[in-house]
């Protein structure tokens, strides 16, 4: 199970709350950026070795690419990776930058899952986030996606927005359920001190909702989703009806199995190494213009890598615990962990697990280690025990 992530770092506007590695007004470099992505993919010529199970095109705003540009990317992915087992190809889109023809082309290219960054259906909250779209544009985007033949749809929602009340948050969830997506992700607005929105809030003497208010939003949304036909499968992630609507790509991260990230600022986790790419699209393109072939990609990364870190077994085990406990309600599969690392997590983490169990933060059965409801609310405290 290896996933491919492709980062498209270009946006039409820069949202003040966003800390992603994104750039506005750089459309002219997109053709060179695509050539660089193709070059980077060629450094991972692992066609015979790993079966790729999912591809995710994220950003930024990948829907600003034309169908021909998407086709060039897919062609080079097919050339360099074994994609015969790919069952999920997702692209992120923003409401308002979509049209029926583009969606039909995406469907024809094999994209079978769309992730819409809606955030809220309350127009005042969307304005507070400086989003260029409205609730009616979100509705239209979902209808357009469904008519294109792509029926696996994720909607990203945000809580913790200034002035958001629990009533307006519940209304957002209700509006989104009426649109009948297959997957919903709930994210809490977190602002770094350097974000534009952080300075905007300080300037206007506005504050973000308290941690308690955010915990109440998360709890009420969980209850609302669980009462509908959605099931939770990880912290912040819900899917509809059957297992096929869980995001295969997210599961790769949650199981801490390999992913290969292509593009400016992307990172990879592959064969005991983490590779971090250069952030700037200009430097990324330049680095991949060189024709020097690396003799040992695994050791040195690709010409776009700015940092390569070797991950030893003990760190990999810790990271697998931290990621796996995010799976709710399944958690860590004890047998699967034992097969992977040749040691039972119960034996390896005996004292830590005992302590967390006593604090009612985790639950240990014969087959799984899971977060309790209390542990889910205090998950960062649990994860810190494995660092």
The residues that touch ligand SF4, with contacts defined as CB under 6 A, are 11, 14-15, 18, 20, 22, 59-61, 94, 117
Of the two residues 60 and 209, which places its CB atom closer to ligand SF4 in the complex? 60
CB of 197 to ligand SF4, least distance (A): 11
Of the two residues 94 and 305, which places its CB atom closer to ligand SF4 in the complex? 94
What residues have CB less than 8 Å from 118, skipping those under 6 apart? 95, 138, 141, 155, 156, 157, 176
CB of 121 to ligand SF4, least distance (A): 17
Contact 81/116 with Cβ under 8 angstroms?
A: no
Of the two residues 8 and 353, which places its CB atom closer to ligand SF4 in the complex? 8
Contact 10/64 with Cβ under 8 angstroms?
A: yes
Q: What is the DSSP string of 77-116?
A: HHHHSB-TT--EEEEEE-TTS--HHHHHHHHHTT--EEEE
Grouping H, G, I as helix, E, B as strand and the rest as coil, residue 304 is coil
Of the two residues 9 and 301, which places its CB atom closer to ligand SF4 in the complex? 9
Torsion of CA 185, 216, 136, 92, to 10 degrees: -20
CB of 92 to ligand SF4, least distance (A): 8
Mark 156-182 as b/e (b = at least 16 C-beta within 10 Å): bbbbbbbebeeebbeebbebbbebebb
Residue 173 bridge partners (DSSP): none
Contact 49/99 with Cβ under 8 angstroms?
A: no
CB of 119 to ligand SF4, least distance (A): 8
CB of 150 to ligand SF4, least distance (A): 20
The count of other CB atoms within 10 Å of the CB of residue 320 is 21
CB of 337 to ligand SF4, least distance (A): 34
CB of 18 to ligand SF4, least distance (A): 3
Of the two residues 10 and 269, which places its CB atom closer to ligand SF4 in the complex? 10
Of the two residues 94 and 224, which places its CB atom closer to ligand SF4 in the complex? 94
Of the two residues 116 and 177, which places its CB atom closer to ligand SF4 in the complex? 116
């Amino acid at each position: 199970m290896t996933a491919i992530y492709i980062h498209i770092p270009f946006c039409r506007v820069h949202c003040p709350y966003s800390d992603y590695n994104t750039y506005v007004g750089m459309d002219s470099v997109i053709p060179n950026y695509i050539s660089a992505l193709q070059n980077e993919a060629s450094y991972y010529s692992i066609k015979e070795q790993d079966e790729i199970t999912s591809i995710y095109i994220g950003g930024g705003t990948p829907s600003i690419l034309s169908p021909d540009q998407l086709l060039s990317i897919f062609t080079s992915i097919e050339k360099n990776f074994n994609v015969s087992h790919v069952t999920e190809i997702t692209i992120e889109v923003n409401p308002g930058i979509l049209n029926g023809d583009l969606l039909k082309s995406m469907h024809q290219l094999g994209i079978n899952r769309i992730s819409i960054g809606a955030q809220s259906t309350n127009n005042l909250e969307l304005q507070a986030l400086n989003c260029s779209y409205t609730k009616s544009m979100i509705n239209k985007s979902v209808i357009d996606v469904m008519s294109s033949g792509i029926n696996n749809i994720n909607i990203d929602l945000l809580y913790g927005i200034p002035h958001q009340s629990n009533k307006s948050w519940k209304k957002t969830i209700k509006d989104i359920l009426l649109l009948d997506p297959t997957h919903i992700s709930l994210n809490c607005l977190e602002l770094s001190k350097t974000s534009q929105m952080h300075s905007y809030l300080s300037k206007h003497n506005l504050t973000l909702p308290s941690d308690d208010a955010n915990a109440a939003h998360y709890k009420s949304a969980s209850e609302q989703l669980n009462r509908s036909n959605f099931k939770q499968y990880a912290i912040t992630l819900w899917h509809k009806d059957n297992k096929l609507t869980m995001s295969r790509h997210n599961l790769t991260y949650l199981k801490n199995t390999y992913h290969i990230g292509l593009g400016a600022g992307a990172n990879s986790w592959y064969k005991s190494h983490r590779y971090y790419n250069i952030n700037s699209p200009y430097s990324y393109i330049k680095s991949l213009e060189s024709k020097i072939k690396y003799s040992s990609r695994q050791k040195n990364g690709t010409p776009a890598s700015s940092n390569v870190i070797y991950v030893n077994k003990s760190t990999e085990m810790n990271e697998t615990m931290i990621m796996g406990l995010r799976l709710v309600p399944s958690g860590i599969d004890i047998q699967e962990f034992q097969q992977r690392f040749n040691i039972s997590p119960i034996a390896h983490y005996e004292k830590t697990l005992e302590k967390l169990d006593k604090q009612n933060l985790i639950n240990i059965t014969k087959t799984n280690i899971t977060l309790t409801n209390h542990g889910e609310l205090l998950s960062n405290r649990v994860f810190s025990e494995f660092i």
